[in-house]
Structure 1
Amino acid sequence: MKSVSSMKRVLVAGSTGAGKTTLARAIAGRVAIPFHEMDALAIAGPQWAENPRLFEDVSRISSGPSWIFDSYGYPQVRDLLWSRADTIVWLDYSRPVIMRRVLRRSVARTLFRRRIFGGNVETVGDWFTADHPAWWAWSQYARRRADIATRCADPRFAPLDVIRLATPQAAREWLSVTTATGDETRRIP
């Protein structure tokens, strides 16, 4: 397995609310890889308008020598990213961990009207829609987890180094050990 310093094209994958953005930013800051927030690229403006140039934008970025994305990819760019990545860091957390995180984040965003992608804010009314992050995390948890596992085992992506982290503690330990010492990355069951 390669060392963290040799990771050049990284996807941080996991369920909605796992902490992909936080971990991706931390990795990017420690190894000087340009960080790209997938939701910020995908959401182009008010009313959650989708970026019609998402594929072109992600294709341009991912053709570069180094990058880190905080997503396993929107459907229209998923295969592109997986085929160009050299490392997958999979936050494979339990559903209770995911739900605590996504609920805490969405409550704060709603109460404090924090602007996110495209200038949008989560509202109380959004909580009653099927694509609200809390509902999405709950309903898509098993499907997302199975899809990531399938992709990690897919021969098309066999050259990928997969780092599977089962708990937030494992992620913190992996990040501190691998970036502090430059030690080889390791798979965590």
Structure 2
Amino acid sequence: MADRIARRILVYGVTGSGKSTAAQRISRATGVPWHPVDDLTWEPGWVEVPPEEQRRRIARICAQDEWILDAAYGKWLEIPLARAELVVALDYPRWLSLSRLLRRTAGRVVDKRTVCNGNRETLRTVLSRDSILLWHFRSFARKRRRMREWAADPSGPAVHRFGRPRDLRAWIDALGATEAR
């Protein structure tokens, strides 16, 4: 499917790869609404939305004609995959995604900016057993394998797999130029 007509887009990648930033930029370039997954799955106080409610929220979005999601959790991954026209896969090396994650997390701890629904990353959350840094290590291989499997599967949605941020930026810039026509 041509990039300019993809209106249901899943941005997927390893933790720290820049999925939310990419989704926001794709949304600006195309006018397709972006739905930040963290806002749909975490309530204030880092209370996780129950899985069935997460599924309902995601299904409601994915039933629409146009959407961009910046992640897909295993609990409901099949919902956006069944409707996505395009998966933008951020398949960056560990050193890159981990360095981005460390820099972003440290910055959020220091400046206390909110992440989603008023939540903040703190030294306590960074050092907890649910740490986003630990999650990076737990999920890295699985997410990379998943992206590569999707790219090799002709029965699924189209997959644009990016190994370098500059290639993603060039693609988004071209996408915006195409949409402006």
TM-score by length of 2: 0.91
Q: 2:32 maps to which residue?
A: 33
Distance in 1 (alpha carbons) for counterparts of 2:73 and 2:25: 22
Of 140, 155, 164, 1:167 maps to 164
- Is residue 101 from structure 1 mapped to residue 105 from structure 2 by the alignment? no
- Which AA in structure 2 matches 1:87? L
Q: Partners in 1 of 2:125 and 2:48 — Cα distance?
A: 17
The amino acid across from 1:69 in the alignment is L
State the Cα distance separating 1:145 from its structure 2 match.
0.7
Deviation at 1:159, TM superposition (A): 4.2
SS of equivalent to 1:117: coil
- Report the counterpart of residue 136 of structure 1 in structure 2: 135
Worse overlay, 158-167 or 124-133: 124-133
Q: Unmatched 5+ residue regions in structure 1?
A: 183-189
In the TM superposition, what are the counterparts of 1:121-160 in structure 2 within 5 Å? 121-154=120-153, 158-160=155-157
Decide whether aligned partners of structure 1 residues 181 and 8 sit closer, same or farther in structure 2, where only a CA change above 3 A counts: closer
More deviation, 139-148/51-60: 139-148
Cα distance in structure 1, aligned partners of 2:122 and 2:156: 42
Q: Give the C-alpha shift of residue 178 in structure 1.
A: 2.8
Tell me the residue number matched to 2:16.
Answer: 17
Q: Give the share of equivalent positions with the same residue, in percent.
A: 32
* Larger mean Cα displacement after TM superposition, 24-33 or 137-146: 137-146
CA RMSD in angstroms, aligned pairs only: 1.5
Q: CA deviation at 1:134?
A: 1.9
1:154: Cα distance to partner? 4.2
In structure 2, what is the equivalent of residue 185 of structure 1?
A: none
Q: Specify the SS of the correspondent of 1:119.
A: coil
Gaps of 5+ in 2: none
> TM-score normalized by structure 1?
0.87
Q: Partners in 2 of 1:165 and 1:154 — Cα distance?
A: 17
Range with greater deviation from structure 2 (106-115 or 116-125): 116-125
Q: List per-residue Cα deviations over 1:127-151 (Å, max 9, x = no partner).
A: 2223322221133211211122223
For residues 87 and 110 of structure 2, the distance between their equivalents in structure 1, rounded to whole angstroms, comes to 34
Please give the per-residue CA displacement for 1:86-136, whole angstroms capped at 9, x wherever unaligned.
100001100011011101110011011112223221111222223322221
Partner of 2:54: 54
The aligned length equals 177
